[in-house]
Amino acid sequence: MNTLLILSYLIGSVTFVVGLKMLSHPDTARKGNLVAAFGMLVSILATIFLYGHHGEDYSTKLIWIFGGIAVGTIAGWITAKRVEMTKMPELVCLFNGMGGACAALIGLMEYGANLGNTMSLATIVAGMIIGSISFSGSIVAFLKLNGTMNKPIRLPYYNIINSIVMLGLAAMSVWVVMTGQPESMAYALFGVAVIYGLLFVFPIGGADMPVVISLLNSFTGLAAAFGGFLYDNQVMLTGGILVGSAGTILTLAMCKAMNRPLSNVIFGAFGGGASGPAQDIEGSIKDISIYDTAVLCNYANKVTIVPGYGLAVAQAQHIIHELEKTLEANGVEVKYAIHPVAGRMPGHMNVLLAESNVAYEKLVEMDDINPEFPNTDVVIVVGANDVVNPAAKNDPASPIFGMPILDVEQAKHIIVNKRSMNAGYAGIDNHLFYNPKTSMLFGDAKDVLTKLVAELKAM
């Protein structure tokens, strides 16, 4: 291998490590991303110009390669720039699927050329299968996140079916590799792996998609690493393994935030698999008008806003900032209580509120805000549901039992803005709404908040 090429790959590998390191601190995160991107550029250019083995039709190939890069760059750049911040998780998911598909295609192309070399075939097949699962799984996760496929699909005995397909896939791979089957079998394997990816994500509920995406993310990393093994390519290997291990840790961290083991996310059906009868709900629901809400907030000392994904869906993140400024101008102390899994991904809500210029100090994490709720006069819950559901604390039969929640019940008044009485993302009822201290403010978040701000300004 060319010395310059080796050096470029070294630069690539180091920038990935440094980039990831910087990405894990708020101050350096943005630079870290650019550092990794630079390393990627170096690695790609070095591969194109220094790799060698390019035969006689180098110029033709260059045209095709640069053509592909141009198409991918333009499409990727435009999509990434144009997408709304609320759709970010879907997009990450989609790009992950593209990477998986890329790994799968590499496997398909390399298979025929490596017949007769069992170890190479094993590497190729492993990368291809993992890539395919990541690809089809990501597509399903994408569809679930954007609402196209909003109900978990559970075939009868889906756990058994999935396990059989998985074992079948593994057995078939071993047979194909050991006996060196012809190329057509590689395509068959690819097909089965794609089907397994679909089956893998189908039964998992939308609320768990962040965990699934993170998991599939590390799968794609692993697929890239197998490519690294195949080509003795250090940058693919380091990049892939780094993402594989970092992605796994991230997945576990997310599960921890939801207080559910990973196995429960994958094999246990969320919102449906709960055992025992749900507790009966007593009490009734109390409405509140916008005017009364305005009065209540205006004469409060301390107001805490609990934003949820519903806020983002209604595009109300700007108006909520307006509400905060109006209240502060009237001498009310306002804070935001951010649940670790508010939004669709951990940290998603912070990104959304940051977009509308909410000050960083105002976003308080769950553990820090929970002790403050008893001294809080008014809590305004906007578009959040499961993260404030007391069932997580006191109903062992609830599917979210054990998940840490925001203790909004401790506050003096709770105002919940919701579009309707429909259940939350996890599909379960919320006792909070029936609490005597709770008042419901029905309506579209953006609409209601705009009117609320107008009332407050008139006071």
- Residues from 48 through 107 that contact other proteins (CB under 8 A): 48, 51-55, 57-58, 60-61, 64-65, 67-69, 71-73, 75-77, 79-81, 83, 85, 88-89, 91-92, 94-96, 98-99, 101-103, 105-106
Which range, of 23-31, 160-168, 285-293, 446-454, touches other proteins by CB under 8 A? 23-31
Tokens of 130: 């993992």
Q: Of these, 202, 231, 267, 442, which contacts other proteins (CB under 8 A)?
A: 231
Q: Residues touching other proteins: how many (CB under 8 A)?
A: 117
Residue among 192, 190, 193, 215 nearest 265 (CA): 215
Q: Can you tell me which of 1, 7, 119, 188 binds other proteins, judged by CB under 8 A?
A: 119
Q: Binding marks (x or -) toward other proteins, 424..453, rule CB under 8 A?
A: ------------------------------
Of 20-28, 197-205, 326-334, 420-428, the window that binds other proteins (rule: CB under 8 A) is: 20-28
What whole-number distance in Å separates Cα of residue 192 and Cα of residue 150?
A: 24
Among 4, 7, 30, 368, binds other proteins (CB under 8 A): 30
Contact call for residues 222 and 244 (beta carbons, < 8 A): yes
Sign of the C-alpha dihedral, residues 25, 26, 28, 31? Answer: positive
One-letter amino acid of 143: L
Which 283-322 positions form the footprint of other proteins (CB under 8 A)? none
Alpha helices in 314-370 (DSSP H): 317-329, 348-355, 366-369
Residue 170 is a binding residue for other proteins (CB under 8 A)? no
Please report whether residue 360 would count as binding other proteins according to CB under 8 A.
Answer: yes
CB of 274 to other proteins, least distance (A): 26
Q: Which CB atom, from 294 or from 323, has the smaller least distance to other proteins?
A: 323
Answer yes or no: are the C-beta atoms of 193 and 214 closer than 8 Å.
Answer: no
Site string for other proteins, 185-224 (x = CB under 8 A): ----------------------------xx--x--xx-xx
- Tell me: does residue 11 bind other proteins (CB under 8 A): no
CA dist 32 → 18, 36, 41, 77, 435 (Å): 7, 6, 14, 19, 46
d(CA 404, CA 400): 9
Which structure tokens are listed for 244? Answer: 């594989």
Q: How far apart are CA 324 and CA 343, in angstroms?
A: 19
Q: Which one, 36 or 415, has the nearer CB to other proteins? A: 36
Q: How far apart are CA 265 and CA 281, in angstroms?
A: 27
Catalytic residue among 232, 280, 386, 447: 386
Interface residue with other proteins, options 227, 307, 399, 404 (CB under 8 A): 227
User: Alpha helix locations (H) across 357-444?
Assistant: 366-369, 391-394
- Torsion sign across C-alpha atoms 113, 72, 132, 220: positive
Which range binds other proteins by CB under 8 A, 163-171, 234-242, 409-417, 449-457? 234-242
Q: How many CA atoms lie within 13 A of 426 on its CB side?
A: 27
Backbone φ and ψ of 380, nearest 5°: -110, 115
Beta strand pairing call for 438-442 and 413-418: parallel
Query: What are the Cα distances from residue 102, in Å, to 37, 135, 436?
Result: 18, 9, 55
128 counts as binding other proteins under rule CB under 8 A = no
User: Among residues 32 and 424, whose Cβ is nearest to other proteins?
Assistant: 32
Token digits of residue 193:
């792996």
How many Å apart are CA 351 and CA 358, to the nearest integer? Answer: 10
Identify residues 364-423 at the interface with other proteins (CB under 8 A): 365
Which residue, 40 or 285, has its beta carbon nearer to other proteins?
40
With respect to other proteins, which residue has the nearer C-beta, 344 or 418? 344
* Least CB distance to other proteins at residue 44 (A): 6
Q: Which is nearer to other proteins, 180 or 283 (CB)?
A: 180
> CB neighbours of 315 closer than 8 A, spacing ≥ 6?
86, 446
Q: How far is the CB of 313 from other proteins (least distance, A)?
A: 17
Select from 212, 237, 392, 411 the one that contacts other proteins (CB under 8 A). 237
Of residues 32 through 51, those in contact with other proteins by CB under 8 A are 32-34, 36-37, 40, 43-44, 47-48, 51
Task: Note whether 422 and 386 are within 8 A (CB).
Answer: no
386 is catalytic: yes
Nearer Cβ to other proteins, position 246 or 288?
246
Out of 7, 253, 397, 421, the residue judged to bind other proteins by CB under 8 A: 253
Q: Could you give the residue numbers annotated as active site?
A: 386
